[in-house]
Structure 1
Amino acid sequence: MDRAEARAGAGSRDGARTSAARLGTGIARAKERDGMKRTFIGAHTGCGDAPDNTWASYLEGVASGADIVEVDVLTARDGTLLLLHDDKPELKSHGFAELNEPGLRARVAPHHGEHELARLDDVLRHAAAHRIRLNLDLKSPEAIDPAMALVRTYRAEGLAFVTGCSAGMPERYPDVPALWNAPTTAPSAGEEEAYAKAVCETAVRLGYRGINLNKATCSEAVVRSAQEAGLMVWVYTVNDPEEMLRFAAIGVDAITTRRPATLRACLTEERMDSKESDDLRR
């Protein structure tokens, strides 16, 4: 590679990073309403009546009015990306058409019932057409490259966030914001600050746009450290109203929940309380 090619390659990577940074800035701006920071609502797959990771479940997430709709992603033998959570052996030995036959489908997706397997291709096509933000929760490293190829096919770089298996993504796909899944073991009493520092330093060193935290590990210390480092903070899976209010109060950027309507009501209450407090201080 000559110097001109090296400069061109570096310019391409820098441009992609700039695009991802602009998306982050756009998210921040979108979160400012009535002069107050707004926490985004992430609709966990299966947030309605349909089983997790079905086409019907995706549409229920969209209909909920959530800011972000989550889907889990795995790869079949023929390379088809499917909405599935558990990496079953059958995925290594069968393609999409075979897996979608009732007998095999009942083994790889036992809770689907009469619902057929859903493809990420169809979800991205719909999301791109309707400007739906997606949380692609990749469940295996093999899903990274084909998922990113589909994101680019539908020019959905400005709509997709990646969590789950994402090793190497910030360097290889800087135009698609990836959040690092932090360790799920909660720190011991008195270790919160050290945990917060370690998590944020790791995310920054690896080039991630943010951190994705299990609710057991999300604390004010982590949020504070993340904000100082310029990282987004997402927390999952929060279904209790009191926890929703607590995480919103400490300033997380997004909460993933199976109860988006409840979360919306809690966030409305939290914003009203904040406004009343501001009015009293004036």
Structure 2
Amino acid sequence: MTTHPYLAPGFTALAHRGFSLDGLENSMRAFEDAVALGYRYVETDAHGTRDGVAVALHDASLDRTTDARGDVADLPWSEVRTARIGGIEPVPLLEDLLGTWPDLRVNIDVKAVSGIVPIADAIERTASHDRVCIASFSTRRREATVRRLSRAVATSAGTSEAVAYFSQGAVGLPVRRALRRVDALQVPRRAGRATVLTARHVRAAHAADTLVHVWTINDPAEMSELIDMGVDGLVSDRADLLKELLVSRGLWE
């Protein structure tokens, strides 16, 4: 298995967009609440503003989660910083998330081309290479971000790599070539109504020295099924329930 420092030994529990039951996802308060629960890993998406500032926010637009409107990539930071998540919390700078908790591992999904340079710059300025994993649906975006960094970070498979993994692994073919450039697979269990992740897939990834993290799992029964299947980590909106289950199973680090 990979030896990158981001992927510490033990089961990986990732708090999806931090932890909030009050509609404050991806706010500093949500990340703080995840840390207060004892989480070592959080997940965030990131975008770049028009003037090249990296923000930790899931959507390309401010419309759904904040009291403002407009696409982040079309707005300067001076406008984005006035938006309030849930009408309360400011949109965080990615650099603040990386810098506030020096031991926190952060899974960063590069959501758009506009985020590539600002995200890489934030990682460089905070020297957080050892505790960052770069993910993206686009392999090109992920690799473009990684190329701008002075030191290696952990990486997660893009859509094209995941599709090859699912199709080859389903029929028992080796998947090492499909996963040769990543440390982890961060994948859904289902595509639409179809269950696509099987125990055979997990075994195939492990044979290729690749970890398997599954998103976004909020039901404790399904969490248990996936742990029994042998996955290496879970991404959840319900960080409270995931912690409770892992504690009960002796897997909480």
Q: TM-score range by the shorter chain?
A: 0.7 to 0.9
Q: Give the counterpart letter for 2:152 in structure 1.
A: D
Shift of residue 258, structure 1, vs aligned partner: 1.3
Q: Kindly tell me: are residues 256 and 98 of structure 1, through their superposed partners in 2, closer, same or farther at Cα, counting changes over 3 Å?
A: same
Task: Report the 3-state secondary structure (helix = DSSP H, G, I; strand = E; otherwise coil) of the residue aligned with 1:238.
Answer: coil
TM-score (norm 1): 0.71
Q: Higher helix fraction: Structure 1 or Structure 2?
A: 1
| Aligned match for 1:265, one of 214, 232, 244 | 244
Specify the structure having the higher radius of gyration (Cα).
1
Matched residues in 1 for 2:71 and 2:138: separation? 23
Q: Is this contact kept in 1: 2:12–2:232, CA < 8 A?
A: yes
Q: Kindly tell me: are residues 127 and 144 of structure 1, through their superposed partners in 2, closer, same or farther at Cα, counting changes over 3 Å?
A: farther
Q: Where does residue 7 of structure 1 map in the other structure?
A: none
Matched residues in 1 for 2:185 and 2:26: separation? 23
TM-score (norm 2): 0.79
Task: Report the 3-state secondary structure (helix = DSSP H, G, I; strand = E; otherwise coil) of the residue aligned with 2:152.
Answer: coil
Aligned CA RMSD, in angstroms, stands at 2.9
Shift of residue 92, structure 1, vs aligned partner: 3.2
Q: Is this contact kept in 1: 2:169–2:175, CA < 8 A?
A: no
Q: Give the counterpart letter for 1:56 in structure 2.
A: R
Structure 2, unpaired ranges of 5+:
62-69, 191-195
Task: Report the 3-state secondary structure (helix = DSSP H, G, I; strand = E; otherwise coil) of the residue aligned with 1:143.
Answer: helix
Shift of residue 75, structure 1, vs aligned partner: 0.8
- How high is the sequence identity, in percent, across the aligned residues? 22
Structure 2 counterparts to residues 47-86 of structure 1, below 5 A: 47-50=19-22, 51-86=24-59
Q: Where does residue 114 of structure 1 map in the other structure?
A: 88
Structure 1, unpaired ranges of 5+:
1-19, 32-38, 273-282
Q: Is this contact kept in 2: 1:124–1:151, CA < 8 A?
A: yes
Q: Is this contact kept in 2: 1:235–1:255, CA < 8 A?
A: yes
Moved over 6 A (4+): none
Q: Give the counterpart letter for 1:218 in structure 2.
A: L
Matched residues in 1 for 2:18 and 2:170: separation? 35
Shift of residue 159, structure 1, vs aligned partner: 0.8
Greater RCO (CA < 8 Å, at least 6 residues apart): 2
CA deviations 1:123-177 (Å, max 9, x no partner) are 111132xx01111122113322321222122111111112224524457257011
| Aligned match for 2:170, one of 170, 194, 207 | 194
Identify which range, 83-92 or 167-176, moves more after superposition.
Answer: 167-176
Shift of residue 113, structure 1, vs aligned partner: 1.1
| Aligned match for 1:239, one of 192, 211, 218 | 218
Q: Where does residue 4 of structure 1 map in the other structure?
A: none
